[in-house]
Amino acid sequence: MGYKEVFQKIDDYRWKIPRSFKEGMRTDALIYAAEDMLQLIYEENAHLQVVNVACLPGIVGNSLAMPDIHLGYGFAIGGVAAFDPEAGGIISPGGVGYDINCGVRVLRTTLYHDEVMPKIKEIVDTLAREVPSGVGSEGPLSLSAADLDKLMVKGTKWAVEHGYGTEDDILHTEEHGAMEGADPSLVSKHAKERGTSQQGTLGSGNHFLEVQVVEEIFDETTANAFGLWKDQITIMIHSGSRGLGHQVCTDYISVMNQAAKKYNIVLPDRQLCCAPVNSPEGENYFAAMAAAANYAWANRQMLMHWTRDSFAKAMGAAPGKLGISLIYDVAHNIAKKETYKVNGKDKLLCVHRKGATRAFPGDPVLVPGDMGRYSYVLVGTERAMQETWGSVCHGAGRRLSRSAATRQFSVDQLLADLGKRGVIVRTASRKGLVEEAPEAYKDVREVVDVVHNSGLARKVARMRPLGVVKG
C-alpha cells in the first residue's frame, strides 16, 4: 500500500484518512498538506500517529495535522486534537510535548534595513554575548524557591513586575502570559531544580534569536495594524520552558502510564498515555503543565528584555528610541481549555496543540522557518475556528532527523552557505548548528502556502534572516 491508497483527497490541501482505516478509530484523521508533501509524511509514518490519536476517548471532530507534520512523541508534531471532558475526554503529555509552551515572539522596531546593516555583525555578537544560550545554560537570575513558585503562577506578569518589560508586553502575549490553574506544588522538586537557574535562557536545539528584515508585505491593511512595513527590522525569539518543562513532561508520563491502566483506556501507542481531563491525574497534569507554560512565558519575556537592551547597546541608542516593541507571543506546545460550538452548543474542550499555533480571527500568527530562508507573520481566520479549533502550523517542520542532518552536512560548509545568503550566525554548539541546517527542514514557504490557500490563516508579511544566535 502506498500513500495514494491511504490519503483520500478532499481538495488540494485537505487529505482524509477515514475511520475505517484502523479498528478503534473514533473519528477521521484530516491532514492539511500539498500533494507533494504526502510521500514524506507516509514514509516516516507520521500519518499513523494522527490515526492513533483518532482512537483516544472523547475526541471531538477530526484528529488533525498541519502541513509541518513530522514524527513526534505520541502525537505527531503538527498534531491538533480536542477532547470533551464530559464524554470521558483525555489529556495526554504526548499531545503537548516535552518542551511545554515552546513558542515564538516577534518584536518590531522603527529601524530600516539600511540603518542596521553597517552594525549587523556587532549586533549579533552583542546578542550572542549577553543573552544566555546553549545546553544547560544558566541565566544571570538566581531564583529562590518562593520566587520560582510565584513566577510559575504569574508568568509574564512576574517578569514585568521585576523590571523585565512593560505592561504593554503582557497585553500582546497569548493568555496575557499566564494560564489560569497553574499549581507549582504539583511540579516536582527535580523539575524546579532544573528550572531555578535556567530562567531567562534561550536553550539549545531549534531555539534561536534572530534579527530579520521584512522582505514582502502581502496584506497592507493587516500589516499596518500589526505595525509592519517593507524593509523594517524585526527580531524573533524562539524558546520554551527549558529543563523545567521537560521534567514536568517526564514526571507525568510515568503518572499517565499508570492512569491509563487505572481507567481502562486502550492505547494504540504507549506514548499516548493519558488520563481523563476531569480525573485527579488529568487535573494535576494540567495544573503542572500550566505552571511550566507560565515559566516559559516569563522566560521569553526576560529574553526579550535583554534582547532589547543588547540590540540598543550595539546600535548606540536607548531601546525606546528604536521603537523595539512586542507584536505578539504565541505558544505551540500546549493544552488549553477553550469553548467552541459543537453541534450548535457551547462546549468546553481540552485542545491539544503539539507543534501547532493558535490562530484566532484577527490575531497575529507567527511561523518561524529555518535560519537560511524565511519566517512569516500571518493572521488567523474564522475558518480555522470552524475547522481546526483555531490552529495552524507552528513552523517549517523537520524533513531530516537530527542524526541524519549531522551525517549529511558539515559545519564549515553550512557556515559558508549561510554566509553566501547574507546570514551571520553565532552558536554555542557547532554540532547543534548542523542539526539545524536549513535543508534539514521543509521549505516554510510551501508550508505557509498550504495554510494560506486552505483559508486557515492569511499571509501578512515575510521576513528574511540577517543574523542568528543559536543555542
Query: Which residues are annotated as catalytic?
Result: 394
Please name the amino acid found at residue 77: I
Grid cell for residue 437: 541546517
CA distance 365 to 368: 10
Looking at the DSSP bridge assignments, the partners of residue 377 are: 366, 461
Q: Could you give the maximum distance between any two Cα atoms of the chain, in Å?
A: 64
Distance from first CA to last CA of the chain, Å, rounded?
41
Give buried/exposed letters for 294-305 (b at 16+ CB in 10 A, else e): bbbbbbbbbbbb
Q: Element (H or E) spanning 154, and its range? A: helix 145-154
The grid coordinates listed for 374 are 524565511
7 CB neighbour count, 10 Å cutoff: 20
CB 388 within 8 A of CB 31: no
| Long-range contact set of residues 443-446: C-beta below 8 Å, sequence gap at least 24 | 443/369, 443/373, 443/396, 444/367, 444/368, 444/369, 444/370, 444/373, 444/374, 444/375, 444/376, 444/395, 444/396, 445/369, 445/373, 445/374, 446/34, 446/37, 446/67
Q: Which residues make Cβ contacts (< 8 Å) with residue 305, sequence separation at least 6?
A: 159, 163, 164, 165
Q: Counting beta carbons within 10 angstroms of the beta carbon of residue 341, is it exposed (0 to 12), middle (13 to 18) or buried (19 or more)?
A: exposed
Beta bridge partners of 462: 216, 376
| Residue of 353, 367, 372, 377 lying closest to 440 (CA atoms) | 372
Say if strands 59-70 and 29-32 run parallel, antiparallel, or are unpaired: parallel
Cβ neighbourhood burial of 99 (10 Å; 0-12, 13-18, 19+): buried
* Single-letter code of the amino acid located at 29: A
Could you give the CA distance from residue 32 to residue 48 in angstroms, rounded to a whole number? 15
